């Protein structure tokens, strides 16, 4: 072997062992590739990350050690991020509506599992302090099945809202117990020190919840649309709160969760929140799970699991105690069995707060390796069982949703006054898609006797005489001239608008608001997906900022050639029926036939399918629709697959876009719309809804409860 070859080998070895960037590169490869592979095998990506940590850890390849500075730093950031996102995703508006009942159910689903978990710890030889900590691990829950109840349209059911609100109490309670148990374990702990700790925690919590909320609102108000600065403010808030928690002697995850609650109202459901959650879910939180895998010693894991009684007691104790809590809520608040079972299934999953607290307890020496391994098994079992149960029992709540909203006033495209003329804005910026977009918008505007507004945005530097701006204006004028000519051929007069703005998305939303638009029609390419990673930045920003509906279209042929339109509808709220109204408006203009597709449980009896179909037809007959759609009720075990199969016989599929919510502390859960957009090969219209203000949400929930009360009477 030559000297140069030996030198090269030693140099490569030194890079891999001493260069801190190498572990980061390996982690990026792992969190990019492993979840994709496991999801294609129909296994949770989270499981793949844990196994990757085991393989890369000291018991196999020995590439990583949990005490490495790079791993420890990134894992701690992921741990903080995990709890921050858990607080950020609590729906504060829903919580305020049912805070008293949420407090009641939160008390049940906290205290009962706490007692059961403490008994389990004592039975298996843990001390009182460790046993109480084990009980606190039982007490919290993760809303892993939120995308399921959102897709089913039962999010406004009181039992569901109460369960969501209870998350605040269970997570805060569990984190407080963790803070006290760790402090007791750290050294001498007297009644005076306990009072001091609780007092400091109270003052600190008030400072974070009130101070950060005020500071965030002021900063966001002054920074306007500067999302970069707002993103950095949110990051500063979470890590400042984490450091503050450590200064008063409690765990940093307590501060992170409180920071999430504090900035919850500030970021709302806007693009800043989406970016914050996105960074955590694709980078830091997956690294935390890889680090968790590094702690798993396979021989010790097998040995601890072979002691099946501890693991069995933990799993059964958790599931049983959560059922008792839901049953008590049923008795006290007079919920039916379906509502009680839905509350139970939503409160079963143990991921975010449970794993974070377990890791803290393990590192502090309160919990042993056997308990760590048992909690990992608990996470895997409950993360699978909870959403599975929710998908089965929450379907039954949809029947009441139909009854509640069947009395609602007719809605065509939005909640504005239907006597005002329909205004359709068509941003023209891509010559390849302009013709089909103008055709669709013109057909809708003509049918509704409304206005068609082709819109071109010219972006350029601050100087209005810059050559770049002159070129952008010339290009925009050419696009508008073409749009005007095409509109004239379709018998519609176009009112073209040219706007100069800093960014295309801002220009579209601002001009649409100035024109008092009811609908924005946009296009996207054939190879696309969902949201920023799938739609692209312009459409993503328009969906977030628009005041009206946005029809994002992928048209493979002229709208005038469409003969059959498919509209999948899972529930029958006014919002869920907007795609149907859109499809009927378009179908009336071109003489097409619309089919409403409702996918039900595959185990349902044929007589029940016929009964559901007749109920849907009766409901639609009361809604003053321009024409009666064909109703198809199809039993299938997979909603997405049923829609994809049915769509092959149709020219166009109209879908509803629901603002996506992540769960499991930022670990993305694929929803129905993203699956369909990725797999449907034909023409698609995705109807995106505007973000509602808090007042609008309150008004809508009040109307739905009023309708329900009338029907019950």
CA-based diameter of the chain, in Å? 93
Number of domains into which the chain is organized: 3
**671, 702 Cβ separation under 8 angstroms:** no
Which of 240, 237, 289 lies closest to 27, judged by CA? 289
C-alpha–C-alpha distance, residues 362 and 374, integer Å: 12
Which of 243, 184, 125 lies closest to 365, judged by CA? 184
Instruction: Determine, yes or no, domain membership for 241.
Output: no
Asked if residue 711 and residue 573 are part of one domain, the reply reads yes
Find residue 431's DSSP bridge partners.
Answer: none
44: number of CA atoms within 13 Å, CB side?
Answer: 21
C-alpha–C-alpha distance, residues 494 and 437, integer Å: 13
pLDDT > 90: percent of the chain: 5
Computed over every residue of the chain, the mean pLDDT equals 77
What are the start-end ranges of the H helices in 624-689? 639-647, 672-679
pLDDT band, residue 48 (cuts 50/70/90): confident
Containing structural domain, residue 183: 3-190+285-401
**629, 620 Cβ separation under 8 angstroms:** yes
Looking at 551, 580, 601, the residue that finishes a domain is 551
Q: Does the structure show a pLDDT above 70 at 262? A: yes
Instruction: Determine, yes or no, domain membership for 258.
Output: no
Residues 510-549 pLDDT 10s: 888 888 888 999 887 544 443 444 344 677 778 777 888 8
What pLDDT does residue 359 have? 82
pLDDT band, residue 323 (cuts 50/70/90): very high
What pLDDT does residue 566 have? 92
List CB contacts of 687: < 8 A, sequence separation 6 or more: 549, 550, 551, 552, 578, 579, 582, 654, 655, 656, 657
Lowest pLDDT segment from 199-208, 328-337, 598-607: 598-607
Asked if residue 363 and residue 424 are part of one domain, the reply reads no
What pLDDT does residue 328 have? 92
Round the CA-based radius of gyration of the chain to a whole number and report it: 28
Asked if residue 507 and residue 573 are part of one domain, the reply reads no
DSSP 3-state assignment of 114? helix
Asked if residue 566 and residue 546 are part of one domain, the reply reads no
Total length of the chain: 713
Strands 652-657 and 519-523: unpaired
Looking at 497, 516, 551, the residue that finishes a domain is 551
**422, 517 Cβ separation under 8 angstroms:** no
Which of 594, 547, 602 lies closest to 567, judged by CA? 594
Distance of alpha carbon 302 from the chain centroid: 35
Asked if residue 519 and residue 604 are part of one domain, the reply reads no
Asked if residue 57 and residue 12 are part of one domain, the reply reads yes
Q: Is the dihedral of CA 622, 623, 625, 627 positive or negative?
A: negative
Instruction: Determine, yes or no, domain membership for 271.
Output: no
What pLDDT does residue 339 have? 87
Q: Does the structure show a pLDDT above 80 at 641? A: yes
Asked if residue 481 and residue 377 are part of one domain, the reply reads no
CA 594-600-604 angle, 5° bins: 135
Looking at 502, 520, 551, the residue that finishes a domain is 551
Residue 457 phi/psi, 5° resolution? -110, 125
C-alpha–C-alpha distance, residues 276 and 216, integer Å: 15
Asked if residue 592 and residue 540 are part of one domain, the reply reads no
pLDDT band, residue 324 (cuts 50/70/90): very high
**252, 246 Cβ separation under 8 angstroms:** yes
Q: The domain that contains 543 carries what CATH number?
A: 3.40.50.620
Asked if residue 704 and residue 587 are part of one domain, the reply reads yes
**Prediction pTM value:** 0.60
What letter does residue 421 receive in the DSSP assignment? P
Instruction: Determine, yes or no, domain membership for 460.
Output: yes
Residue 367 phi/psi, 5° resolution? -115, 140
Residues 275-310 pLDDT 10s: 788 788 888 888 888 887 887 777 766 766 666 888
What pLDDT does residue 465 have? 66
C-alpha–C-alpha distance, residues 618 and 628, integer Å: 11
What pLDDT does residue 668 have? 40
Asked if residue 439 and residue 378 are part of one domain, the reply reads no
pLDDT band, residue 94 (cuts 50/70/90): low
Residue 425 phi/psi, 5° resolution? -100, 130
What letter does residue 663 receive in the DSSP assignment? B
C-alpha–C-alpha distance, residues 515 and 518, integer Å: 9
Asked if residue 545 and residue 590 are part of one domain, the reply reads no
Q: Does the structure show a pLDDT above 60 at 214? A: yes
C-alpha–C-alpha distance, residues 466 and 464, integer Å: 6
Q: Does the structure show a pLDDT above 70 at 12? A: no
For residue 580, CA distances in Å to 438, 507, 567, 626 come to 21, 29, 6, 11
pLDDT band, residue 119 (cuts 50/70/90): very high
**653, 683 Cβ separation under 8 angstroms:** yes
Instruction: Determine, yes or no, domain membership for 211.
Output: no
C-alpha–C-alpha distance, residues 171 and 234, integer Å: 21
The helix (run of H) or strand (run of E) holding residue 656 is: strand 652-657
What pLDDT does residue 398 have? 57
Residues 144-165 pLDDT 10s: 776 677 666 676 678 888 887 7
C-alpha–C-alpha distance, residues 685 and 99, integer Å: 38
What pLDDT does residue 596 have? 92
Q: The domain that contains 81 carries what CATH number?
A: 1.20.1530.20
Instruction: Determine, yes or no, domain membership for 480.
Output: yes
What pLDDT does residue 81 have? 84
What pLDDT does residue 322 have? 92
Instruction: Determine, yes or no, domain membership for 229.
Output: no
Residues 679-690 pLDDT 10s: 888 888 888 877
pLDDT band, residue 635 (cuts 50/70/90): confident
What pLDDT does residue 532 have? 42
Which of 373, 300, 383, 294 lies closest to 56, judged by CA? 294
Torsion of CA 600, 602, 608, 609, to 10 degrees: 60
Instruction: Determine, yes or no, domain membership for 660.
Output: yes
**294, 56 Cβ separation under 8 angstroms:** yes
C-alpha–C-alpha distance, residues 70 and 48, integer Å: 21
Asked if residue 167 and residue 135 are part of one domain, the reply reads yes
Mean per-residue pLDDT for 356-363?
82
**398, 154 Cβ separation under 8 angstroms:** yes
């Amino acid at each position: 072997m030559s000297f140069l070859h030996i030198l090269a080998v030693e140099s490569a070895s030194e890079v891999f062992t001493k260069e801190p960037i190498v572990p980061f590169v390996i982690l990026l490869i792992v969190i990019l590739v492993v979840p994709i592979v496991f999801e294609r095998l129909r296994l949770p990506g989270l499981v793949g990350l844990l196994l990757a940590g085991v393989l890369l850890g000291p018991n196999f390849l020995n590439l990583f050690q949990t005490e490495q500075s790079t791993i420890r730093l990134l894992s701690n950031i992921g741990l903080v991020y995990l709890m921050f996102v858990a607080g950020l995703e609590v729906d504060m508006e829903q919580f305020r509506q049912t805070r008293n009942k949420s407090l009641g159910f939160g008390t049940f689903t906290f205290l009962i599992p706490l007692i059961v978990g403490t008994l389990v710890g004592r039975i298996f030889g843990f001390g009182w302090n460790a046993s109480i900590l084990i009980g606190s691990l039982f007490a919290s829950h993760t809303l892993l099945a939120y995308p399921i109840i959102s897709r089913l349209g039962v999010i406004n059911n009181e039992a569901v809202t109460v369960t969501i609100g209870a998350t605040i109490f269970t997570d805060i309670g569990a984190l407080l117990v963790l803070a006290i148990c760790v402090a007791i374990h750290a050294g001498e702990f007297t009644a005076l020190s306990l009072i001091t700790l609780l007092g400091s925690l109270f003052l600190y919590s008030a400072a974070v919840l009130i101070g950060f909320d005020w500071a965030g609102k002021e900063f966001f108000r002054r920074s306007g649309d500067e999302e970069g600065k707002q993103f950095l403010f949110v990051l500063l808030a979470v890590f400042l709160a984490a450091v503050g928690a450590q200064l008063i002697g409690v765990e940093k995850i307590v501060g992170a969760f409180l920071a999430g609650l504090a900035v919850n109202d500030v970021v709302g459901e806007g693009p800043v929140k989406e970016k914050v959650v996105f960074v955590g879910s694709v980078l830091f939180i997956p690294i935390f799970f890889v680090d968790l895998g590094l702690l798993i010693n396979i021989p010790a894991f097998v040995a601890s699991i072979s002691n099946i009684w501890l693991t069995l007691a933990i799993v059964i104790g958790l599931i049983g105690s959560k059922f008792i809590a839901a049953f008590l809520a049923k008795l006290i608040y007079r919920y039916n069995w379906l509502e009680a079972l839905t509350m139970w299934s939503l409160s079963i999953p143990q991921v975010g707060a449970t794993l974070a607290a377990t890791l803290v307890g393990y590192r502090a020496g309160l919990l042993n390796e056997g308990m760590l391994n048992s909690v990992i098994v608990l996470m895997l079992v409950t993360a699978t069982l909870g959403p599975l149960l929710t998908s089965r029992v929450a379907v039954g709540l949809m029947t009441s949703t139909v009854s509640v909203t069947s009395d609602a006033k007719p809605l065509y495209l939005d909640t504005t006054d239907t006597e005002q003329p329909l205004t359709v804005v068509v941003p023209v910026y891509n010559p390849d898609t302009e013709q089909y977009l103008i055709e669709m918008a013109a057909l809708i505007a003509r049918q509704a006797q409304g206005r068609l507004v082709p819109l071109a945005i010219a972006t350029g530097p601050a100087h209005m005489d810059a050559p770049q701006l002159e070129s952008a204006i010339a290009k925009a004028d050419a696009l508008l001239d073409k749009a005007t000519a095409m509109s004239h051929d379709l018998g519609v007069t176009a009112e073209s608008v040219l706007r100069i703005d800093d960014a295309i998305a801002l220009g579209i939303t601002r001009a649409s608001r100035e024109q008092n638009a009811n609908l924005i029609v946009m296009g996207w390419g054939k190879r696309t997906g969902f949201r920023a990673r799938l739609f692209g930045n312009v459409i993503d920003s328009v969906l977030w900022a628009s005041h009206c509906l946005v029809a994002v279209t992928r048209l493979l042929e002229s709208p005038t050639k469409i003969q059959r339109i498919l509209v999948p509808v899972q529930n029958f709220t006014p919002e869920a029926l907007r795609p149907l109204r859109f499809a009927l408006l378009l179908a009336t203009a071109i003489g097409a036939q619309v089919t409403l597709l409702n996918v039900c449980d595959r185990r349902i009896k044929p007589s029940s399918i016929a009964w559901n179909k007749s109920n849907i037809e009766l409901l639609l007959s009361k809604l003053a629709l321009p024409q009666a759609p064909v109703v198809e009720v199809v039993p299938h075990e997979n909603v997405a697959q049923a829609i994809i199969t049915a769509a092959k016989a149709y020219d166009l599929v109209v879908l509803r876009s629901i603002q996506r919510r992540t769960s499991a502390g930022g670990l993305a859960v694929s929803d129905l719309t993203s699956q369909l957009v990725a797999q449907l090969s034909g023409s698609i219209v995705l109807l995106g809804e505007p973000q509602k203000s808090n007042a609008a949400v309150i008004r809508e929930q009040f109307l739905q409860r009023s309708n329900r009360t009338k029907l019950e009477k």
